[in-house]
Structure 1
Amino acid sequence: MAEILCTICARGGSKGVLNKNIKKINDLEMIAYSIIQARNSKLFKHIVVSTDSDEIANVALKYKAEVFFKREAHLASDSAPKLPVMRDALLRSEKYFGVKFDILVDLDASAPLRTSQDIKKAYELFIKENKEVLITATLARRNPYFNLIELDNGEVKRSKQGFFTTRQSAPKCFDMNASIYMFKRERLLKSDDLFGKETSLYVMDESTAFDVDSELDFKIVEFLIKERNLKPEEF
């Protein structure tokens, strides 16, 4: 049986939406959705939140996530990439729990529309394909091969990349949404590369894959969550 660690990385200094990770939607803080989804998936013994914020840590603890360290400042800046944050959480968790984890699953705190079924199905795909990495995406709403145009010295031109005259003839493209990442331990520790033959792609429905980066995003997600009116056990 594989040892699986779930991480949820949530820093305090969000800019697009102030304090977005603990901003309430339908009476639940946004990070609570990811914690509850992780619990409902039944995949994880440990759900660890990595944060630099005492407020976020207190909310995470309220929903029974584990917060046993405070993220260092250099991993919580606007420019800090996410993979080193995951790596840091993995190594700290291994030391704290005395367990060598085989797989790390990271859930983005700003993707509250994701479901526990998404997590389980993505994991099933990851195990079935036996790859080193899994990323999630949705089918692109605007195919760049067809829709991309350029403004060149006042002249509107089809982009050099956009040489297909119908959407149907253009290659199928996907939008990464960062909702779920999965890594085999050794891959996460040795590489920052997400792509290649050792990467699985789990395609999510657009209705469960919305990511909150702006106030408009927040309003859309808030509307969709209230419309669904799901109870926590149904996430």
Structure 2
Amino acid sequence: MSICIIPARGGSKRIPRKNIRKFCGRPMLSWPIKAALDSGCFDRIIISTDDDEIAMVAEEAGAEAPFRRSAELADDYTPTVPVIVDTIAQLNLPDLTPVCCLYATSPFVTATDLRSGLECLEETGANFVVSVTTYAFPIQRALRRNQHGEVAMFDTAQMQTRSQDLEEAWHDAGQFYWGKAAKWKTTAGIFGDGSQGLVLPRHRVQDIDTNEDWQRAEQMMRLLQLDSALWT
């Protein structure tokens, strides 16, 4: 038995109603739901939401919305882990249940990604499996820019270091996290000891927090759809 939990509150500020806004012709939320359905991984796909319209869209896409999230867990400052723990409690899941937190704004996630995450969780015994990708530019060469427009390196010691000699850096791809129910209930975060990174290609990773992000993501999706060999 495996469970997918998709957090999708109604109060997004920077992109209003982004969880159900049309993305390349379909509600944003429907993209990860379809990947979850196609993966064959899940006995249930649950939406954790405080919003009736989001719940309706999710159910039309093939997910369940069996309860409404409390206001205390639906404000701008609520982190992900308490939302997943709340849903685990609502469903009364056994401790060994594999639980995948899948973000509502993950249109690039694939069924293969989700299956690979579950396989990694089971085969490695990891506490969590996190979707990750590489930075496009060495973070050791990052610049800061002040209010006057002046720039300076964060670490001047790296000024003369060749980029190919710098350690490769990774970041959370912001698509999904796998972990057993007990681990979700006993952790404050998912990036501690015992977490495995499941590598995703950069061309399928895009945060969607601003309208510029949204436009870029739609352009990426259209390119991917033009090349069915990439969209698997």
Q: Give the TM-score normalised by structure 1.
A: 0.88
CA distance in 2, matches of 1:211, 1:158: 25
Query: Bigger CA drift: 40-49 or 178-187?
Result: 178-187
CA distance in 2, matches of 1:100, 1:195: 20
| Partner AA of 2:4 in structure 1 | C
Q: Secondary structure at the match of 1:20?
A: coil
1:84 corresponding residue in structure 2: 82
Query: Are positions 1:172 and 2:156 aligned together?
Result: no
Q: CA deviation at 1:219?
A: 1.0
CA distance in 2, matches of 1:60, 1:101: 26
2:203 corresponding residue in structure 1: 207
1:50 corresponding residue in structure 2: 48
CA distance in 2, matches of 1:87, 1:170: 38
Q: Contact 2:143/2:151 (CA < 8 Å) preserved in 1?
A: no
Q: Which runs of 5+ in 2 are unaligned?
A: none
Q: Contact 1:94/1:101 (CA < 8 Å) preserved in 2?
A: no
Query: Bigger CA drift: 70-79 or 190-199?
Result: 190-199
Query: Are positions 1:30 and 2:28 aligned together?
Result: yes
Q: Contact 1:30/1:112 (CA < 8 Å) preserved in 2?
A: yes
Q: Contact 1:145/1:162 (CA < 8 Å) preserved in 2?
A: no
1:145 corresponding residue in structure 2: 140
Q: Secondary structure at the match of 2:92?
A: helix
Equivalent residues, number: 228
Q: Which stretches of structure 1, 4 residues or more, deviate above 6 A after TM superposition?
A: none
Q: Percent identity, aligned pairs only?
A: 27
Q: CA deviation at 1:100?
A: 5.6
Q: Contact 2:126/2:195 (CA < 8 Å) preserved in 1?
A: yes
Q: Which runs of 5+ in 1 are unaligned?
A: none
CA distance in 2, matches of 1:161, 1:49: 46
Aligned counterpart for 2:119 among listed residues 118, 124, 139: 124
Give the direction of change, closer, same or farther, for the CA distance of 1:227–1:157 in structure 2 (3 Å limit).
closer
Q: Secondary structure at the match of 2:53?
A: helix
CA distance in 2, matches of 1:6, 1:14: 21
Give the direction of change, closer, same or farther, for the CA distance of 1:68–1:80 in structure 2 (3 Å limit).
same
Q: Contact 2:173/2:200 (CA < 8 Å) preserved in 1?
A: no
Q: Give the TM-score normalised by structure 2.
A: 0.89
2:68 corresponding residue in structure 1: 70
CA distance in 2, matches of 1:124, 1:148: 39
Q: CA deviation at 1:223?
A: 2.1
CA distance in 2, matches of 1:155, 1:79: 32
Q: CA deviation at 1:26?
A: 2.7
| Partner AA of 2:190 in structure 1 | L
| Partner AA of 1:134 in structure 2 | V
Q: CA deviation at 1:54?
A: 0.7
Q: CA deviation at 1:148?
A: 3.7
Give the direction of change, closer, same or farther, for the CA distance of 1:162–1:127 in structure 2 (3 Å limit).
farther
